[in-house]
Structures are given as structure tokens and as C-alpha cells.
Amino acid sequence: AQSVTQLGSHVSVSEGALVLLRCNYSSSVPPYLFWYVQYPNQGLQLLLKYTTGATLVKGINGFEAEFKKSETSFHLTKPSAHMSDAAEYFCAVNSGAAGNKLTFGGGTRVLVKP
Amino acid sequence: NAGVTQTPKFQVLKTGQSMTLQCAQDMNHNSMYWYRQDPGMGLRLIYYSASEGTTDKGEVPNGYNVSRLNKREFSLRLESAAPSQTSVYFCASSEQGGYTFGSGTRLTVV
């Protein structure tokens, strides 16, 4: 079975400050890992994904995430927050089981203070 | 534009009523999924279809049925709606590790 834990349901950052969203997963096999962003009243947009290869993955809007197998983590970071980063962020894992199902974490809502 | 199309976008039902949420994709993906989104719980899988002609239960299937009508279409049916089914529903399709989500259906059961 696969599962995802996102630490902190709400995160508040100042504009220009580091954004760090934590994600830990459990999977019996090497996983595919994803970060999605959801703006208010919209669908999910892919920020970045890890499948194989380089463990530091760069995504859209200046976000990046690092796959750390030893820590079973896939934390999302952005060096300098922008007001437009206010949204909800979801970490997800696919361990390649039948149907290639995505399992999501509970989400982290980011508030950016001016 | 290629993608996943969900209808309707909004729906209000009375307890006990039935309805079908429609989903269609035009990317020739084999796998399709229905998720529901509730505050603090992320997205939870209701049903999925790994390929045309197959469907399987996900994490929260009770109260729902699905039909994989053909490779493009995957519908979700609520036979007797309950207030606990008030949620935002997302359809998705996937192929080789890439997933595309629809824009969602906001369902309220009163």
C-alpha cells in the first residue's frame, strides 16, 4: 500500500521568504512522486514530478523538489515566495500498482503575507 | 484543446436523487479515474478504470457506481445521493506516468 503525509495543513510565509512544504511517502517499491497546485476554484495543475534519474527536480513557477529515498521524502521548495503562490499544494505518489493509481496527501494551503 | 472534460460543473441535488457525472478525454489514454476532494483530506480515489472494459474500486467507493463506456468516456453515478457526498469531484486520465485532470464538478446534496 502507498500513502502520503503532508506536514502542516496551513503554511504562512512572507513575500520574498523561502517556501518549504514537506511531504513524506510510503511505498513498497520505488515510487513516482508528484506535486500539484490548486488555485481557488480551479482544478489541479502539475508543478513537477519525479520518475527516475536526477533526484532534484525543477518545476514550473520556480519550484523544485528533492527525492530523498533514505528519508522517504519529497519536499517542495521555492527560494522566494510571490503573492501569486497563494494556493493549495498536494503531494502524490504512484507506486506502479495495478491501475497506476495516484495517492494524495491531505494538502497544504499556503498564505503569502505582503 | 486536448484534455479531460467534465460535466456538469455545478450541481445541487436533494437527498435521495440520482445523477451521473460525465467525463471524457481525447488523449487516447488507457486509464481513467474518479476522485473526490474534501477539505483536509486531499483527493481520495473513488473508482478507476485501468483500461477499456475494466473498472475497480478505490478507497471510497460506497454509494457510487461507474461505467467505462468506451476508451474516451468514464461516468460516475450516484444512485441515491446523501449529504455526505457533497464534495468536489475530479476525473483524471493517465498514460505512462502522466496524469491530466478535469476542472471538477462541485456537487451539493441538501
Contact yes or no for B37/B85 (Cβ under 8 A): no
Cell numbers found for residue A46: 502539475
* A97, pLDDT greater than 80: no
Interface of B with A in 53-92 (CB under 8 A): 56, 58, 90, 92
pLDDT digits (tens, 9 = 90+) for A26-44: 887 778 999 999 998 888 9
> What does the pLDDT read at residue A31?
83
The single-letter DSSP state of residue B3 is S
pLDDT digits (tens, 9 = 90+) for A41-93: 888 999 999 988 888 999 999 999 999 999 999 999 999 999 999 999 999 99
Contact B104 A106 (CB under 8 A): no
pLDDT digits (tens, 9 = 90+) for B47-102: 999 999 999 999 999 999 999 989 999 999 999 999 999 999 999 999 877 889 99
Measured between CA atoms, the residue of chain A closest to residue B30 is A99
Task: Tell whether A61 is within 8 A of chain B (Cβ).
Answer: no
The single-letter DSSP state of residue A30 is P
Query: Using CA atoms, how far apart are residues B34 and B109, in angstroms rounded to an integer?
Result: 18
Contact yes or no for A112/A13 (Cβ under 8 A): yes
Reply yes or no: is the peptide bond before residue B83 cis, omega within 30 of 0: no
The single-letter DSSP state of residue B41 is S
Residues of A in Cβ contact (< 8 Å) with B97: 32, 49, 51, 94, 100
